[in-house]
Chain A
Amino acid sequence: MAETSALPTRFATPPALSLRFVPVWRRNLLVWRKLAFASLLGNIADPLFYMLALGYGLGALVGEVGGMPYVAFIGTGMVCQSAMFTASFEGMYSAFSRMHVQRTWEGIINAPIALDDVVLAEWIWSATKAAMSTAAILAVLFALGFGRTWLALWILPLGFLVGLVFGGFGLLMTSLAPGYEFFTYFFTLVITPMLLLSGVYFPVDQLPGWLAATANVLPLKHAIDLARPLMLARAPDAVAQHVVVLLAYAGIAYYAALVLTRRRLLR
């Protein structure tokens, strides 16, 4: 079975981008609307508990961090973390259900929609959900009196971008997954270190030099470097550099996911 493991060049063609992804995206939106409350609650509750418990509990000990109260510091980290989690879940568990368990994608590509349209729709959708959870947590921060500045609204598109990165990686995992258990690797080996090293809970410069340098390659770190100044109504430094890194991660993950999904389903 040489063909099974090799990646024939016919799957490695450029992505066919078209607006045909819209009806597939709307399908996911319609499902979400039915469960919106539970979904948003899930998106908010977990980060909210962390934010409040660590923010006020630990915050009482550490005081201000990075020029803001610790609860706002960790809250901003939680915004980015939540976008990462939401998109990863959507790209993995939800997309895998639609692809493999419910065979939804199979039904869709029997209609005049190409698999490329489906993957694009899932990618954009995972980022959409990331932006929605970003908005929810941002609303909580505003309600607590933090980040009430127009600049902070830039965190919304940032959440979308973080969603593109992790939705892309989620879909990449889905294209390779034999079952749900497979996603544990991603959480253990990628998400957890990312969470601890990217500066969600403490500034990265607290880490020893070599570890801080490692953190610099992590996409979540770049997202947080953009988000924190925005919360303080400041324009972040090196915006272009951070955005380029995030876009590069997003693009590479998406393309790899697309090629491997084609190989998985179009043979």
Chain B
Amino acid sequence: MASIVERVLPGRTGATRDRVLSVQGLVKRYGGHDVVRGLSFEIRRGECFGLLGPNGAGKTTTLRCCLGLVEPDDGTIELCGEPVPKAAREARVRVGVVPQADNLDPDFSVTENLVVYGRYFGIDRATLDARIPKLLEFAGLAAKAKAQLRTLSGGMKRRLTLARALVNDPELLILDEPTTGLDPQARHLIWDGLRNLLAQGKTILLTTHFMDEAARLATRLAVIDHGRMIACDAPRALIAEHVEPEVVEVYGDAARAWANAHGRRLSKRLEIAGETAFCYAMDAQPLLADLAARGGVRYLHRPANLEDLFIKLTGRELRD
């Protein structure tokens, strides 16, 4: 069992009350296959913690364990000061969840969805009546209060799901891939809402495989793969630690030949994917000079980003 706990997070800072969620040595097996293998992390009040990982990395299983919906095979979890799964129900009183797949009530109007969900938390009608208009305002659905669910767009439904997750004014908001399947406009609206919540001091745990989303929202990121944590830090710090600062992407039929003849020599690290050569360098000037002198090659010079980090840490092969 010793090998299971592979990585313990850097020191516990602050008192217990500043820790909204603490996961230590989490292990979950399904039929002899380890889905989560000794995962440890802590979420501090007021931060947005991102769990980043390819499909099947164990993100959703980790969330289900944290909510007490799945019993871990090993490890300890403390959510909002309560031990999980033992007191999971008590902990969930102070948590809001935006699930990966929509599960709003299709038979209800927008307001009814919030009222009915609020009752699951034992919130009385007067409190709900006072709270719901604010939630609808926040979600940009004030004009849709009485609308039936089937008349809402995908983006509106997602915003309603977010509003529903806030009906109990939670300490921690857990979002499982909140913008998957949304168009860019709808996605930006969700991001605005989440930034707004962070500004109000809410704590957020977010899983995503959109690098853009992670970069915009997360104060700290954990990259997990095969149920293990590979890295955990602020997004910029992670990039600085793991990836060369400058990237030149070279496109086209000739990219591969150029990369093998010259690119590798001028880069610190070079990867080819399809018809694109990714050149990673501490200083891109020699690469750029060579490409400019040659002419006729399409290329893009940019700073390293989370996608580079993610690919470097989890590889390029496809996950299903």
Residues of A in contact with B (beta carbons under 8 Å apart)? 1-4, 10, 23-24, 26-27, 30-31, 34, 102-104, 106-114, 265-267
CB proximity of A227 to chain B, nearest CB, Å: 33
Contact between B31 and A2 (Cβ–Cβ < 8 Å)? yes
The interface bits of chain B over 149-178 (1 if a CB of A lies within 8 angstroms of the residue's CB, else 0) are 000000000000000000010000000000
Question: A106 contacts which of B103, B107, B116 (Cβ < 8 Å)?
Answer: B103
Check B107 against A34 for contact (C-beta < 8 Å).
yes
Q: Are A111 and B92 in contact (CB under 8 A)?
A: yes
Contact with A along B268-295 (1 / 0, CB 8 A): 0000000000000000000000000000
Q: Digitize B118-155: 1 where CB-to-A-CB distance is under 8 Å, 0 elsewhere.
A: 01111000000000000000000000000000000000
A104 touches which of B103, B112, B121 (Cβ 8 Å): B103
Tell whether, in the assembled complex, residue B90 and residue A112 are in contact, meaning their CB atoms are under 8 Å apart.
yes
Query: Count the A-B residue pairs with Cβ separation under 8 angstroms: how many?
Result: 73
Asked if A110 and B31 sit within 8 Å, CB to CB, the answer is: no
Contact, CB under 8 Å: A107 / B99:
yes
Residues of A within 8 A of B104 (CB): 107
Q: Which of A1, A2, A24 contacts B120 (CB 8 A)?
A: A24
**A196→B105 CA distance, assembly (Å):** 38
What are the residues of chain A within 8 A of B206 when measuring CB–CB?
A: none
- Please report which residues of chain B, range 46-65, place their CB below 8 angstroms from some CB of chain A when the two chains form the complex: none
Q: What would 19 A/B residue contacts be, using CB atoms closer than 8 Å?
A: A3-B31, A30-B108, A30-B112, A30-B116, A102-B105, A103-B99, A103-B102, A104-B103, A106-B99, A107-B104, A109-B69, A110-B67, A110-B92, A110-B99, A111-B120, A111-B121, A112-B92, A265-B69, A267-B30
In angstroms, Cα B103 to Cα A110, docked, is 11
Q: Is the CB of A112 within 8 A of B120?
A: yes
| Cα–Cα distance between A54 and B112 once the two chains are bound (Å) | 44
Residues of chain B at the chain A interface (Cβ within 8 Å)? 29-32, 67, 69-71, 89-90, 92-93, 97, 99, 101-108, 112, 116-117, 119-122, 168
Also in contact, A23 and B120, with CB within 8 A (given A10-B71, A266-B70): yes
Please tell me if the beta carbons of B108 and A4 are within 8 angstroms of each other in the complex: no
Bound Cα distance A104, B29 (Å)? 26
A1 in contact with B31 (CB, 8 Å): yes
- In the bound assembly, the distance between CA atoms of A19 and B99 in angstroms comes to 26
A26, B71: Cβ atoms closer than 8 Å: no
**Interface pair B32/A107, CB less than 8 Å apart:** no
Contact of A27 among B101, B105, B121 (CB under 8 A): B105
Specify the chain B residue showing the minimal Cβ separation from A34. Answer: B107
Query: What residues on A are CB-neighbors of B107 within 8 Å?
Result: 31, 34
Q: Evaluate contact between B101 and A103: CB separation under 8 angstroms.
A: yes
* Assembled-state Cα–Cα distance A91/B32 (Å): 34
Known A30-B112, A34-B107, A106-B103: A112·B119 in contact at CB below 8 Å: no
B165's closest neighbor in chain A, by CB? A110
Closest to A118 in B: B120
Residues of A within 8 A of B30 (CB): 1, 3, 267
What CA separation (Å) do A106 and B67 show in the bound complex?
Answer: 12
Chain B residues, CB < 8 A from A114: 89
A102 touches B69 (CB 8 A): no
With A1-B31, A107-B103, A111-B92: A267-B120 Cβ-Cβ less than 8 Å: no
* Nearest CB in chain B: distance from A2 CB, A: 6
A55 to chain B, nearest CB (A): 36
Q: Which of A1, A2, A112, A265 contacts B89 (CB 8 A)?
A: A112
In the complex, are the beta carbons of B112 and A102 less than 8 A apart?
A: no
Taking CB atoms, residues of chain A closer than 8 Å to B105 are 27, 31, 102, 104, 107
- 5 additional A-B pairs beyond A1-B32, A110-B69, A266-B71, beta carbons within 8 Å, are A3-B30, A10-B71, A23-B120, A103-B103, A104-B105
Contacts of A109 in B (CB 8 A): 69
A114 to B97, CA, bound (A): 15
- Please pick, from B29, B90, B112, B117, the residue contacting A111 in the complex, using a CB distance under 8 A: B117
Distance of B121 from chain A, by nearest CB (Å): 6
With known contacts A1-B31, A4-B31, A110-B97, A267–B70 Cβ distance under 8 A = yes
Q: What separation, in Å, do the CA atoms of A266 and B67 have in the docked complex?
A: 11
Closest to B97 in A: A110
Roughly how many angstroms separate A1 CA and B105 CA in the complex, as a whole number?
34
Question: In the complex, are the beta carbons of B121 and A31 less than 8 A apart?
Answer: no
What distance in Å separates the Cβ of B308 from its nearest Cβ neighbour in chain A? 34
Complex Cα spacing A109 to B120, Å: 9
> What is the minimal beta-carbon distance from A92 to any residue of chain B, in angstroms?
18
Indicate which residue in B97, B108, B119 contacts A26 across the interface (CB closer than 8 Å). B119
Cα A1 to Cα B33 in complex, Å, equals: 9
Residues of A within 8 A of B99 (CB): 103, 106-107, 110
Residues from chain A with Cβ under 8 Å of B89 in the complex: 112-114
Residues in B with CB closer than 8 Å to A112 are 89-90, 92-93, 120-122
* A31 CA / B106 CA spacing, docked (Å): 10
Beta-carbon contact of B117 and A266 below 8 Å:
no
Closest to A97 in B: B106
Closest to B161 in A: A107
B residues in contact with A104, CB < 8 Å? 103, 105
Residue of B30, B70, B120 with highest tally of chain A CB at under 10 A: B120
CB pair A108–B112 under 8 Å, yes or no, is no
Smallest CB–CB gap between B200 and chain A, Å?
22
Q: How far is the CA of A192 from the CA of B215 in the complex (A)?
A: 60
